A and B are shown apart, each in its own frame.
Chain A
């Protein structure tokens, strides 16, 4: 089996998930200059809700795909509602406050959501029931599962849909206008509070899908999973250039690739001193490098803003 190709496939899967989560960070940052550190918890809630529903239905005799879709159907509204509530409760009252204030409430919301999840679902790891067909396909000497293909394709479709929404629709224009200049957007008649709420809701819907994907991919979910995942997706968003939608997608995929190739070769590189469980190190190494050498990220856009 070709290790390189295999790790590229794993990296693309991981990267697709990071990209979906990174979009939530970058959209919120783009529109209000705020890092929603509670976003990782929304992914966790999506995973937990989906997994709970899927576990309840796993013996129902329904086809696995249908069960997964029902699980997603439950996770979507819960996540969207959570995202909506986070903005209303933790950020909106602080719209005019110094930048540090909403950062602190973000961390507070994060802790509250984690503890809430712990109360509901306990501290244990929850196994994802084996409901999905486990088909394996050979490509270029490596294997890819049906689930992996599904993750990559669904993530790609959702990202394409998001780009269309932002670039081609009236709502997308209103979002970009609000991001560029909120008072002027208001002059045009844009209800910027509504646009901001919708941004959180859309980002949270992507998070719900990502939550289901991670838990299916690793066959596991846990009340604490949102923290590291959120931090990595945030890294991906910074890597691509925070605030930039294409950047978040690129950053997510790249980070997935870096991590999985790094994990695949770290043993060889360090003569067996470090094992693949050091995978997480790469994300934060990338974060530090980007912050030091190119804080604007890979797609840090520079459009002249002449007065």
Chain B
């Protein structure tokens, strides 16, 4: 479904992503793990067209998407949950969710989807009319995921959904991520929490200094001594 070949991202002279190759098949959940500064966010930003790639190709459902203007991406079926959530702080929960459905016009279905998000995250329903900026980090993460799903994407890109959250929140959020995945959503999950990411995914890639150094079945990576030493604190 997603085919990345030779992707490079540079900030000025700094090469953040140095020609990486990976793919995600339809219905699959794939983890992209790595330490701080490995280039995971840069990769996702390039996929979501928030950054121009310095080289390489990204094909989504057979179509080259490296040259799309940013706002066309969502209509192709890709939704990014950005690092740091990126909710609209001065808009209410409902308005944030409506923004997720910006490119849709099926009003009744949008309402139904908002209710669906509320059933995934009852906490959001309680605060429907509250400004997003006044919510806790975990609640904002729930909102960011809900907002991304509101576009009815074919593929979800998640950038560190567990970042800075209490374990109980992480649990709740990953519960929903698993449900969504089990319903067939193709997902690319970027995480520093390698254990959690690999336990949730089918396959994984390990990124180091802008390069992919390891890849394979999630269970194999979990058992890999190098991964255990570097990312699982053993």
B70-111 near A? 1/0 per residue, CB < 8 Å: 111111000110101110111100010011101100000000
From residue B231, how far is it (CB to closest CB) to chain A in Å?
24
Is the beta-carbon distance between A190 and B91 smaller than 8 angstroms?
A: no
Question: Which B residues are in CB contact (< 8 Å) with A181?
Answer: 86, 88
**C-alpha gap A301/B133 in the complex (Å):** 12
Return B180 CB to nearest CB of chain A, in Å. 18
Known: A173-B91, A188-B102, A303-B90. A183 touches B70 (CB 8 A): yes
Q: Interface residue count for A (Cβ, 8 Å)?
A: 23
**Do the beta carbons of B133 and A306 come within 8 Å of each other?**
yes
* Chain B 37-53: CB-based contact to A (< 8 A → 1; otherwise 0): 00000000000111000
Known: A186-B70, A186-B71, A303-B134. Contact between A180 and B102, CB under 8 A?
no
Of A192, A303, A305, the contact of B71 (CB 8 Å cutoff): A192
B67 interface residue per 8 A CB criterion: no
- B140 contacts the other chain (CB 8 A): yes
> What's the Cα separation between A303 and B135 when bound, in Å?
11
Name the contact of B133 in the complex, choosing from A186, A189, A304 (C-beta under 8 A): A304
Q: Establish whether residues A180 and B89, one from each chain, have CB atoms under 8 Å apart when the complex forms.
A: yes
**Interface presence of B136 (CB below 8 A):** yes
B88 near A189 with CB under 8 A, answer no
CB-nearest residue of chain A to B100: A188
Query: Is B89 in contact with A305, judged by CB distance below 8 angstroms?
Result: yes
Cβ of B55 < 8 Å from any Cβ of A?
Answer: no
Q: When the two chains form their complex, are residues A180 and B90 in contact, meaning their CB atoms are under 8 A apart?
A: yes
Report the Cα distance A183→B72, complex, angstroms: 13
Contacts of B99 in A (CB 8 A): 173-174, 177, 185, 188, 190
* A116 at interface by CB-CB < 8 Å: no
Q: A183-B70, A189-B71, A189-B103 are known contacts. Are A303 and B86 too (CB-CB below 8 A)?
A: no
Considering the chains assembled together, what is the distance between the CA atoms of A170 and B136 in angstroms?
26
Tell me if A112 counts as interface (CB < 8 A to partner B).
Answer: no
Q: Is there an interface contact between A184 and B86, defined as CB atoms closer than 8 Å?
A: yes
B91: chain A residues within 8 A (beta carbon)? 173, 176-177, 180
For B98, the chain A residues whose CB sits under 8 A away are: 170, 173
0 or 1 for each of B110-135: is its CB under 8 Å from A? (1 = yes): 00000000000000000000010111
A187 adjacent to chain B (CB < 8 Å) = yes
A136, CB-defined interface residue at 8 Å: no
A307 at the interface (CB under 8 A from B): yes
CB atoms of B88 and A191 under 8 A apart: no
Measured CA separation A70–B133 after assembly (Å)? 46
Interface residues of B in 118-173 (CB under 8 A from A): 131, 133-137, 140, 147, 151, 164
Contact across chains for A187 and B70 when beta carbons are under 8 A apart: yes
Complex formed: what's the CA distance from A163 to B102 in Å?
20
CB pair A174 B102 closer than 8 Å: yes
- B74 touching A187, Cβ below 8 Å: yes
Q: Are B80 and A187 in contact (CB under 8 A)?
A: yes
Task: A184 to B151: give the CA distance in the assembly, Å.
Answer: 13
User: Which residues of A have CB within 8 Å of B95?
Assistant: 173, 176
Which of A180, A189, A306, A307 counts the most B-chain CB atoms under 10 A from its CB?
A189
The answer to whether A189 touches B134 (Cβ under 8 A) is: no
Query: Of all chain A residues, which has the CB nearest B136?
Result: A306
CB distance from A191 to the nearest CB of B (A): 5
Residue-by-residue, is A161-204 near B (CB-CB < 8 Å gives 1, otherwise 0)? 00000000010011011001101111111111000000000000
Point out the residue from B50, B88, B103, B135 that lies within 8 Å of A306, measured CB to CB: B135
Q: Can you list 16 residue pairs at the A/B interface with Cβ under 8 Å? A: A173-B95, A174-B102, A176-B91, A180-B91, A181-B88, A183-B50, A187-B48, A188-B99, A188-B102, A188-B147, A188-B151, A189-B103, A190-B99, A306-B133, A306-B137, A307-B85
Residues of B within 8 A of A (CB): 48-50, 69-75, 79-80, 82, 84-86, 88-91, 95, 98-100, 102-103, 131, 133-137, 140, 147, 151, 164
Given contacts A187-B70, A303-B90, 15 further A-B contacts (CB under 8 A): A177-B88, A181-B86, A186-B49, A187-B73, A187-B79, A187-B82, A188-B102, A188-B147, A189-B73, A190-B99, A191-B69, A303-B134, A306-B133, A307-B85, A307-B137
The 5 closest A-B pairs by CB, nearest first: A189-B103, A186-B70, A189-B74, A184-B86, A188-B102
